[in-house]
Amino acid sequence: MDRKEKACLCSLHSINGIGTKSIWKIIESFGSFQACYESSEKRLQASFFAKDVVESIINVKNHDPETRFDQMTAAGIRVVTWDEEAYPAMLRHIHNPPYVLYYRGQIDCLAGTAIALVGSRLASYYGKNTARKLGRELAARGIVVVSGLARGIDSEAHRGALETGQTVAVLGCGLDVVYPPENKKLYSEIADNGAVVSEFPCHIGPEPGNFPMRNRIISGLCRGVVVIEAQEKSGALITADFALEQGRDVFAVPGPINSKSSVGTNNLIKQGAKLVSSLEDIIEEYEDVASTLSGELAQPVLPLLSREENQILESIENDPGHFDYLLDRTGLNIGQLSTLLLQLELRGIITALPGNYYIKQS
C-alpha cells in the first residue's frame, strides 16, 4: 500500500463512526481509501455511511491527509495493514481482524512464537511475582510475551520479559495516549524492546468498550494465553474466551481457594485449561517450535544464606510477612531480625513494603 493510500486510510479512520467494520466496507464499496476520500458528496450519501459520518468525511477532506500522516510518522507511529506482509500472521485469520494496526517499535518481533500473560489489575504479591517470573522465563527462551499494559499482572509480565527479551503491549486506546498514566516509562521501554500496538487511531481514549476489542487482539497474536489471577468476572476471562474461539491454548495458574482473585483461574482449570506450575508446563505444548527456542535457562547463582536468613525467606515465600510475624516465626530478637532484613534487602533478595511488611523478590 502506497503512502497516499495509507494517509487516506488513517484520515478516514480518525473519524468518529468509522471503525474496523466500516474500514472493510470502504474497500468493498469504493475499491480504495483514496477513492473514498476523493468521492463526491453525492457518492458518499449513496453509500453505507450514516449522514453524520458523511458530513465528517466532507469536513476532513478540507485537510491534506498526508500532513496528518507525516505528523504521526514523525511521532514514531507506524501503520501496517491486513494485506501487507508485515502484518502479524497469527492475527490475520481471526474472526473480525483489525484491518489496520498502529504500532511503535518492531512489529516483526511478532513473527516468532508469542504467548500472552494476562490477569487481574488488583493483583496480589503472589500474582505479581508469578507474572514477572513467567514473563522473564518465557522471554529468556526467545518467546515474545504479549499483554495489555494494565496495572497488576500485565505490567509485571511486561517488566519480567524486558529483563531477558522482548514484549508486546496491546492498548485499548490510541498510541498517543498512555494508560494507565503511571506506565509511561514502561510504555517507552516496551517500544524500545518489542512493540506497542493498537487498532485504535490516535486521540482515542481508554473507553470501557475498547478493552474487550483489545483482548481479542491479545489472544489473536499468540499461540496461547496464560491467565494469572482473575476474579469470577474479569477482562482476563474475556481474553481466555477469545482464545478458545480462535483455537488458541488456554493455561491458568492456580491460586488459593479462599482468594477472590483466584476464583476465575481455578474455574478455568476445572473447565479444562492446563494448570501452570512452572515454565515447562507452557513450553512443552509447543514441540513444533522447540528447536527455535533458546536453550535451557541458566540457573541463577544464589548467594549463600545463613539458617536464620533461610527461615525468614521461608516465612515470606508467597505472601508479605509483617515484622512481628517474622519475629514469632524465627525466634530472633528485634535487633537480630532488623539487621538480617536490612542485609537481605541490600542484596536484592527481599523488598520492604509499607506498614513494616516484607516480601521475597521473584
DSSP 99: S
Contacts of 296 (CB under 8 A, 6+ apart): none
pLDDT higher than threshold 60 for residue 100: yes
179: closest CA among 193, 163, 196, 195?
196
The tens digit of pLDDT for each residue in 212-231 reads 999 999 999 999 999 999 99
With 90 as the cut, is the pLDDT of residue 339 above it?
Answer: no
Confidence of residue 315 (pLDDT cuts 50, 70, 90): confident
**Widest Cα–Cα separation across the chain:** 85
Share of the chain above pLDDT 90, in %: 71
144: pLDDT confidence band, cut at 50, 70 and 90? Answer: very high
Determine the pLDDT at residue 343: 83
Mean pLDDT of all residues in 92-111: 94
Domain 307-360 in the same topology as domain 1-73: no
Give mean pLDDT, residues 180-208.
96
- CATH fold label, 1-73: DNA polymerase; domain 1 (1.10.150)
Per-residue model confidence (pLDDT) at position 305: 78
Mean pLDDT of the region 138-148: 96
Helix (H) or strand (E) holding 119: strand 114-119
Pairing of strands 114-119, 224-228: parallel
Q: How many CB atoms lie within 10 A of CB 118?
A: 31
Q: So where are the chain's domains?
A: 1-73, 107-292, 307-360
Query: pTM higher than 0.85 for the full model?
Result: no
Task: Identify the pLDDT of residue 290.
Answer: 52
Across the range 206-211, mean pLDDT stands at 94
Give the pLDDT confidence of 264-305 residue by residue, as tens digits. 999 999 999 999 999 999 999 987 665 455 555 544 444 577
At 352, which helix (H) or strand (E)? strand 350-353
Q: Which CATH class is domain 307-360?
A: mainly alpha
The CATH class that applies to domain 107-292 reads alpha beta
Q: In the numeric block, which cell numbers belong to residue 35?
A: 477513492
Q: What per-residue string of b and e applies to 176-209 under the rule 16 or more CB within 10 Å gives b?
A: ebbbeeebeebbebbbebbbbbbbbbbebebeee
Residue 70 CA to residue 64 CA, distance in Å, equals 10
Sign of the dihedral defined by the CA atoms of residues 314, 320, 323, 329, in that order: negative
Mean pLDDT rounded to a whole number for the chain:
91
pLDDT at 300 (0 to 100)? 46
Burial label, 82 (beta-carbon count in 10 A; 0-12, 13-18, 19+): middle
Percent of the chain with pLDDT over 70: 94
- Main-chain dihedrals φ then ψ at residue 104, nearest 5 degrees: -120, 135
Query: Is the model more confident about 25 or about 296?
Result: 25
* Band (94; pLDDT cuts 50, 70, 90): very high
pLDDT tens readout for residues 108-127: 999 999 999 999 999 988 89
> Residue 81 class from Cβ within 10 Å (0-12 exposed, 13-18 middle, 19+ buried)?
middle
Q: What is the pLDDT of residues 63-83, one digit of tens each?
A: 889 998 999 999 999 999 999
Position 53 scores a pLDDT of 95
The C-alpha cell at 253 is 495458574
